[in-house]
């Protein structure tokens, strides 16, 4: 077997770098929306390659025009009475992120701060976030809510919660991303073709041109014009989309100048940062970008999950309520009231989309004559009575035929 030449090794390295740039590490509590062939209308669930309790390694779209939106869900239950580090729902993901269940009264949250990805109050961890930027912003939001007059807090919390379902805001951000990357799309595609097919055809002498010095120089000149041209447009797009993130912009442009794999995947990188500093509900993201069929599919999962979340539906109250702070009844009330507020906003969003939520909670059709019961959350079917769905935390099943 003959060994690879230096040029062939360059092709191999570029292919590996391109593949690595297509991977994304997704932490618990984050939903992934990956486009296909540059459009979310064609999207399918991102491919999970591996993972553990700290996150999953996912493969997004492989085209230079593909995008990956990362949606960070609300990590706590929140009402005017306080905050509980527990959320029973996990609308898109099959597993619910681990939460401590600790409770916090609002005076404790006045000095809320972030430490890397952790949000901390009174020496205790409120939650873990996907990145330092959203942790810092969420800590500031909790501190701001804690410092305002008590008679204004409840209304402010509702405004804060409603912002997570702001479909138009998400749609505007995605449209702005498309606008700011309108030149990157064709140039990145041309760069991929120039490096890959054209480079290989030229190297192996398949193209009807001579492989002399002038041809090589012309090829390299065009390569660097495309490569660094895309890097220049990346700088411009990042500055318009994320004006305050100077450090991130410097890192992105520097890496783009060093490796052509980075500008080839720059649209995907920019899209990952698009929703990175705010909390949004996955249903709102789906309403903003998905086709009507895809949105209905997400809506079904969302409604089944909020009506029948992963068991247990309440935190471990034995350790969640420190003596002298909050009673277990108060903790459960905060979790239930927060869930009820989400229910109202989800059903309102569905009503605006002319989808009756009752239809989404209907039992599935039996797989066969042996199917007797089903899990109301994931719709897995069972051939025995009084079963429990291990995938949904041991949730009790319901009869298929009533």
pLDDT in tens, 311-348: 998 987 654 445 545 688 889 999 999 999 999 999 99
pTM of structure: 0.91
pLDDT in tens, 204-229: 888 888 878 899 899 999 999 999 99
Give the helix/strand (H/E) hosting 256.
Answer: helix 246-258
Q: What is the pLDDT of residue 97?
A: 87
Percent of the chain whose pLDDT exceeds 90: 71
Cα separation of the two ends of the chain: 67
- Of 42 and 391, the one with more pLDDT: 391
DSSP string for 197-253: IIHHHHHTT-SSS--SHHHHHHHHHHHHHHHHHHHHHHHHHHHHH-TT-HHHHHHHH
Tracing tokens 């809510």 back to the chain, one arrives at 145
Q: What is the pLDDT of residue 109?
A: 94
Q: What is the pLDDT of residue 318?
A: 58
Task: Compute the distance between CA of residue 15 and CA of residue 12 in angstroms, rounded to an integer.
Answer: 5
pLDDT in tens, 102-154: 999 999 999 999 999 999 998 899 999 988 999 999 999 999 999 999 999 99
Mean pLDDT of the chain: 91
373-374/381-382 β-pairing: antiparallel
Burial level of 71, CB count in 10 A (0-12/13-18/19+)?
buried
Task: Compute the distance between CA of residue 153 and CA of residue 375 in angstroms, rounded to an integer.
Answer: 38
1 pLDDT more than 50:
no
Task: Compute the distance between CA of residue 248 and CA of residue 116 in angstroms, rounded to an integer.
Answer: 16
CB 79 within 8 A of CB 338: yes
Q: Which of 339, 391, 347 is nearest to 86 (CA)?
A: 339
| For residues 189-198, average pLDDT | 94
Percent of the chain whose pLDDT exceeds 70: 97
**Residue 240 pLDDT grade (very low, low, confident, very high; cuts 50, 70, 90):** very high
Task: Compute the distance between CA of residue 379 and CA of residue 365 in angstroms, rounded to an integer.
Answer: 10
């Amino acid at each position: 077997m003959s060994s690879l030449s230096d040029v062939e090794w360059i092709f191999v390295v570029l292919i590996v770098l391109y593949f690595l740039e297509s991977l994304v590490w997704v932490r618990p509590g984050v939903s992934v929306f990956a486009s296909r062939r540059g459009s979310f209308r064609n999207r399918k669930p991102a491919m999970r390659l591996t993972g553990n309790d700290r996150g999953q390694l996912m493969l997004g779209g492989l085209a230079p025009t593909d995008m990956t939106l990362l949606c960070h869900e609300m990590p706590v239950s929140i009402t005017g009475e306080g905050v509980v580090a527990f959320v029973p729902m996990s609308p898109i993901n099959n597993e619910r992120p681990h939460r401590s269940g600790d409770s916090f009264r609002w005076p404790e949250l006045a000095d809320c701060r972030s430490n890397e990805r952790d949000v901390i109050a009174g020496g205790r961890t409120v939650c873990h976030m996907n990145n330092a930027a959203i942790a810092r912003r969420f800590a500031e939001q909790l501190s701001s809510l804690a410092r305002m007059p008590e008679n204004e807090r409840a209304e402010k919390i509702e405004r804060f919660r409603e912002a997570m379902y702001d479909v138009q805001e998400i749609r505007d951000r995605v449209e702005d991303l498309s606008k700011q990357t309108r030149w990157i799309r064709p140039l990145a595609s041309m760069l991929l073709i120039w490096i890959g097919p054209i480079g290989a055809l030229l190297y192996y002498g398949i193209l009807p041109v001579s492989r002399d010095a002038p041809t090589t120089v012309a090829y390299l000149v065009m390569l660097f014009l495309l490569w660094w041209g895309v890097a220049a447009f990346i700088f411009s797009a990042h500055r318009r989309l994320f004006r305050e993130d100077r450090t991130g912009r410097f890192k992105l442009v520097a890496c783009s100048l060093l490796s052509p794999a980075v500008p080839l995947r720059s649209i995907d990188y920019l899209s990952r940062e698009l929703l990175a500093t705010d909390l949004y509900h996955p249903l709102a993201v789906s309403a903003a970008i998905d086709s009507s069929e895809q949105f209905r599919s997400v809506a079904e999962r969302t409604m089944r999950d909020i009506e029948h979340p992963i068991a247990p539906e309440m935190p471990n109250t034995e350790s969640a309520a420190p003596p002298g702070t909050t009673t277990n009844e108060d903790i459960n009330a905060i979790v239930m009231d927060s869930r009820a507020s989400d229910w109202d906003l989800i059903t309102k969003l569905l009503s605006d989309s002319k989808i009756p939520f009752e239809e989404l909670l209907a039992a599935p059709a039996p797989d066969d004559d042996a199917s007797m019961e089903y899990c109301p959350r994931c719709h897995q079917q069972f051939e025995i009575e009084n079963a429990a769905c291990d995938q949904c935390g041991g949730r009790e099943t319901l009869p298929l035929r009533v």
